[in-house]
Amino acid sequence: MVSTKTRFWILIGLVTISGFSQGMLLPLIAVILEQNGVSSSINGLHATGLYIGILLSSPFMEKPLQRIGYKPVIMIGGALVFISLALFPFWQALWFWFILRVTIGIGDQILHFGTQTWITATAEKSSRGRSIAYYGLFFSVGFTIGPLMTNLLEYGVYVPFLISSLLSMCVWLFMLRVRNETPEKDHTTAYGTSSIKRFIRAIQIAWVAFLPPLAYGFLEATLHGIFPVYGMRIGHEVNVLSLIIPSFAAASLFSQIPLGSLSDRIGRKKVILTVVSGGILAFLLAAFLEHSIAALFATFALGGLFVGSLFSLGISFMTDLLPRELLPAGNILCGMSFSIGSILGPFLSGFFLDIFPDLSFFYVIVALLIIVFFATAYKKEPISTPSQA
């Protein structure tokens, strides 16, 4: 069996592959459906399958984790992902691909729930932010590399799917050497046996910590799904937009670890308020300078440096606020918040463009970040860290 440190990096490897598969699926399937003559509205609706799977599975994962432990849960989630990826080339039917997308969403959420809860439950208080920052960093690395698989379509539709499936399975096999652990017994007794009661209690205590993951999901889906449409409307070329968008995720790779470590020293709330302020400034500048390609590159990168770490900072903040017995519920709610933001982002941004065609698309992002800023400023920080009590 492997050491605790090796286990941590195996879990990080699984998260990287998960980000890789998610980053690949969105543009890859969009391109394939577009080449097959599927309308853009159906294409966009089809893309929600991943997030629907995440939301559908979220309320039902806590009890299996309590009963069978972390390892079996993670292996079930990983298997759903690589098996579903391998099935894509065998039948190119819209409904079949939608089911596979939903299944991958379920598998990804199970995988993330298991890895995230295991890391947050075992991380030392002094290095918790740094540990969770690695989680966010390597998911972002995978998500940034994933879209490159679209270039393999010239070798056949099956190639990117099978390569992604094979990579996922190879990392998944490392879990066979990890010793299983189960959450502490009080997970099954605190606040009653009902998961609903624990979710309600977790929301009451740590509602503010679920806003950063929601905002990150909103940002990620909006910048990938709606900004290209808006960018073309204001006169930018598609190939230029395809280079601008990754600058957000790429810049976040440089700030994840420093911001996580800084939050360990000075507190999550201060860091979240600082990065959200920076994000507001970055996207206000983008709104004023949106006709300049160089300015968009710079503002997207600046935005990524600040708010590209919101997901991992939100998880760290949640871990600070909740007692240990509520961490599984808190991790589920973080995933659900991200999914809700991912679904709301393209919908609200597209609606905004239809209603206010003369206003900048970036004002939607600024408005959301202002809400997150004031909500975070309103929440009092805990005197102690209950999750380590």
pLDDT attached to residue 44: 66
Q: Could you give the maximum distance between any two Cα atoms of the chain, in Å? A: 60
Least confident segment among 155-169, 322-336, 373-387: 373-387
Strands (E), 52-162: none
Name the DSSP letter for residue 192: -
**Does the pLDDT of residue 360 top 60, yes or no?**
yes
- Which pLDDT belongs to residue 9? 92
Instruction: Compute the distance between CA of residue 41 and CA of residue 46 in angstroms, rounded to an integer.
Output: 9
C-alpha span between 58 and 104 (Å, rounded): 13
Q: How many CB atoms lie within 10 A of CB 48?
A: 20
For 371-385, the pLDDT digits (tens) are: 999 999 987 765 444
pLDDT: which is higher, 208 or 237: 208
- Matching CATH topology for 1-178 and 191-380? yes
Spell out the residues 6+ positions from residue 351 whose beta carbon is closer than 8 angstroms to its own.
none
Q: Average pLDDT of 202-218?
A: 94
How far lies 249's CA from each of 23, 156, 255, in Å? 11, 28, 10
Q: Which of 64, 176, 47 is nearest to 117 (CA)?
A: 64
- In this prediction, residue 202 carries a pLDDT of 92
User: What are the structural domain ranges in the chain?
Assistant: 1-178, 191-380
Q: Is the pLDDT of residue 208 over 90?
A: yes
- The yes-or-no verdict on residue 361 having pLDDT over 70 is yes
Residue linked to tokens 């609706």: 45
pLDDT digits (tens, 9 = 90+) for 70-89: 999 999 999 999 999 999 98
Of the ranges 51-60, 177-186, 210-219, 339-348, which one carries the lowest mean pLDDT score?
A: 177-186
Q: Which stretches does DSSP call E strand in the chain?
A: none
pLDDT tens, position by position, 28-67: 887 787 677 777 567 667 777 888 888 888 778 878 888 8
Q: Which of 274-283, 329-338, 342-351 is predicted with the least confidence, judged by mean pLDDT?
A: 342-351
The phi and psi torsions of 157 (rounded to 5 degrees) equal -60, -35
Q: Are 315 and 120 in contact (CB under 8 A)?
A: yes
Q: Cα separation of 86 and 164, whole Å?
A: 8
Q: By mean pLDDT, which of 137-141, 147-151, 186-190 is the weakest?
A: 186-190
- pLDDT category at 386 given cuts 50, 70, 90 is very low
pLDDT higher than 70, residue 387? no
Look at the block and give the residue holding tokens 């399958």.
49
CB-CB contact of 55 with 339 (8 Å): yes
Q: Give the model confidence (pLDDT) of 170-195 as tens digits.
A: 999 999 988 898 877 544 433 344 56
Burial class (CB in 10 A: 0-12, 13-18, 19+), 136: buried
Whether the predicted pLDDT of 25 surpasses 50: yes
Q: Which CATH architecture has domain 191-380?
A: Up-down Bundle (1.20)
Assigned superfamily of 1-178: MFS general substrate transporter like domains (1.20.1250.20)
Give residue-wise pLDDT tens across range 250-267: 898 899 889 999 999 999
- Give first-to-last CA distance, the chain, whole Å: 29
pLDDT given at position 136: 80
- 223 token code pair: 């910048």
